[in-house]
Amino acid sequence: MVSIIICSINQEFLRGVSENISQTIGIDYELLVWDNREEKRGLCTVYNAMARSAKYEYLCFIHEDILFETPDWGKVLQHLFESQPTVGVIGVAGSKYKSAYYSGWWTGDDQLDAFHINHRINGVDHPMLHPKERVPGFHQVVCIDGVFMTCRKSLWEKSPFDEENVKGFHYYDLDFSLRAARICEVLVTLDIYITHITQGGDYGDKWVVETMKFHQSHQRLLPFGRYSTERSNIDLYIAAKWLDRLRSEKISAENKRAWIKTQGLNKHMSQLWYPLLKFWLYRPLKLHMVHNLLKKLK
């Protein structure tokens, strides 16, 4: 029995996912929709308001631009919660470690990340499955992507979304799942497959500012993880991955300087000189255009 909660700004997406849910979920559910086209409230505020009115024991927070590919995915969720009583939160993408360095849930490290999702970007499918062997069918993590996030209502009652400190539409998922991971188990299941219909994420100035704000307010709680690795340089590895991830984004020089200075990345020039160079010059020198041209010529 699942209460599905959606914060909606696109009626076409909402119609598509609503019909898709009815055809695929396989168990009783209710659909709770908040029309956010005018008020544009932050997700923490919306999710808490809708969760208070939910009647079922499991709360499923999803983006409206997704489609479920797995038949009876509701039964998969129900079985996981019933067979794993210590589990409080389940997602389809997440990581076993959250660095204190500025980053989203993704680390880029094969030992740490788990995900099962298809990104449909500009009409082209990009299926992503890791670990590819799918054994076992779920992985314990500490933070998950909010594109699909299901929890026990009892867990939400103990630790609701932090609408006082996490505003807007970024980091609500990491904040919620990181706090949950301190009092229960958080899982990524590989047995629910969704398609995320997207134009590609916006990781420009607004995201950068929110990222810096989040990490500075959570500096006492990070790093945090559940993983077994002897790599001592894992944090610098993650920092380098995100420098590379952001190299082609529209980020002002002021925010680039703040990104580097507030993390102290300039103190690690011997290890990070190349990702830092790309972070500074890749877009200003229009190397992203050259890169895209070379990809088309292959």
- Domains annotated for the chain, with CATH where assigned, are 2-225 (3.90.550.10), 230-298 (no CATH)
Lowest mean pLDDT among 12-21, 47-56, 92-101, 219-228: 219-228
Q: How confident is the model at residue 228 (pLDDT cuts 50, 70, 90)?
A: low
Distances (CA, A) of 32 to 17, 54, 60, 232, 248: 13, 8, 10, 45, 37
H or E stretch at 256: helix 253-263
Whole-number pLDDT of residue 202: 80
Q: What is the mean pLDDT of residues 181-186?
A: 96
**Does the pLDDT of residue 242 top 90, yes or no?**
yes
Residues near 28 by beta carbon (within 8 Å), at least 6 away in sequence: 1, 2, 56
Rounded Cα gap, residues 45 and 61, in angstroms: 13
Q: What would the two tokens of residue 139 be?
A: 């992985």
Assess contact for 95 and 229: CB atoms under 8 A: no
pLDDT band, very low/low/confident/very high, at 200 (cuts 50, 70, 90): low
Q: How many residues does the chain have?
A: 298
Strand, coil or helix: what is 25?
Answer: coil
Q: What is the pLDDT of residue 241?
A: 97
Mean pLDDT of 8-16: 95
Mean pLDDT of 226-232: 64
**Per-residue pLDDT at 198:** 81
